[in-house]
Amino acid sequence: MRLGNMAGARRHRRHVTTKRDDTAARAPDLLGRDFSASCPNSKWVCDFTYALTASGVVYVAFVVDCFSRRIVGWKAARSMTKALVIDALNMAAWSRRNVSLSGLLCHSDAGSQYTSVAYSERLADIGAVPSIGSVGTSYDNALAETTNGLFKTELLYNPAVLERHGGSWRGLADLEAAISAWVEWFNERRIHAALCYRTPAEVELTYAASHKHAA
């Protein structure tokens, strides 16, 4: 990289978005920092982050399948309400609509959005089991935090991407379009070291083929 006059992308400092609700019932941590999974839809991790735009802050929520690192759901909005994380969960459920999600472990941090009654009820609707990490410990949701970091490094603060957008993000609309394209690339074409340098799509296709053969 030095010979080619190249430099790696740098991640910006993280802004704290987790605000707990001490009055809300909180599910136990059933994940226990074990982000491994033997099949798709056995463990999902959820989190959201923020993006600065010319028209104000935009919050972006992701749902990631631990088995393949695939982003199965996401949502961008102007406020960090429970609707933000529920909409991301709804997209994830829709993207996996042809399979049963019964028993799925859905893990998040202790933010008030994830401990809300509405979010808990939506998890129950799809048959998922809630899991919540301890307060103030990012390691409990490290895979989701990593996805947030990659989003910021590869898209949000990527100089080449920003140049195409005039040097900054205008607002929700242009950021949504860019996230949609990035998620498609992330799932279908981006290789991951944790996946033995395969893409999430390749990992899931290999699993599906082997499962079909075994059946």
Taking the domains of the chain in order of start, what are their residue ranges?
Answer: 43-214
Instruction: Report whether pLDDT(215) > 60.
Output: no
Instruction: Report whether pLDDT(17) > 80.
Output: no
**What is the distance between the alpha carbons of residues 77 and 28, in angstroms, rounded to a whole number?**
28
**What is the distance between the alpha carbons of residues 34 and 114, in angstroms, rounded to a whole number?**
20
What backbone phi and psi angles, to 5 degrees, belong to 52?
-90, 130
Instruction: Report whether pLDDT(14) > 70.
Output: no
pLDDT band at 10 (very low <50, low <70, confident <90, very high): low
Count of beta carbons in the 10 Å neighbourhood of residue 47: 27
Give strand ranges (E) for 23-169: 43-53, 56-65, 71-77, 105-108, 129-132
Tell me the average pLDDT across 84-106: 97
Q: What pLDDT was estimated at residue 19?
A: 59
Task: Look up the CATH superfamily of 43-214.
Answer: Ribonuclease H-like superfamily/Ribonuclease H (3.30.420.10)
Q: Which residue has the higher pLDDT, 15 or 73?
A: 73
Tell me the average pLDDT across 150-163: 96
Q: Which residue has the higher pLDDT, 135 or 74?
A: 74
pLDDT (tens digit per residue) in 179-206: 999 999 999 999 999 999 999 999 999 9
Residue pair 122/90 in contact (Cβ under 8 Å)? The answer is yes
Instruction: Report whether pLDDT(23) > 60.
Output: yes
Q: What pLDDT was estimated at residue 4?
A: 66
- What's the whole-number average pLDDT of the chain? 91
Q: Which residue has the higher pLDDT, 136 or 19?
A: 136
Q: What pLDDT was estimated at residue 26?
A: 87
Q: What pLDDT was estimated at residue 25?
A: 78
Instruction: Report whether pLDDT(158) > 60.
Output: yes
Instruction: Report whether pLDDT(135) > 80.
Output: no
Q: What pLDDT was estimated at residue 211?
A: 83
Q: What pLDDT was estimated at residue 7?
A: 57
Radius of gyration of the chain from Cα atoms? 17
Q: What pLDDT was estimated at residue 134?
A: 84
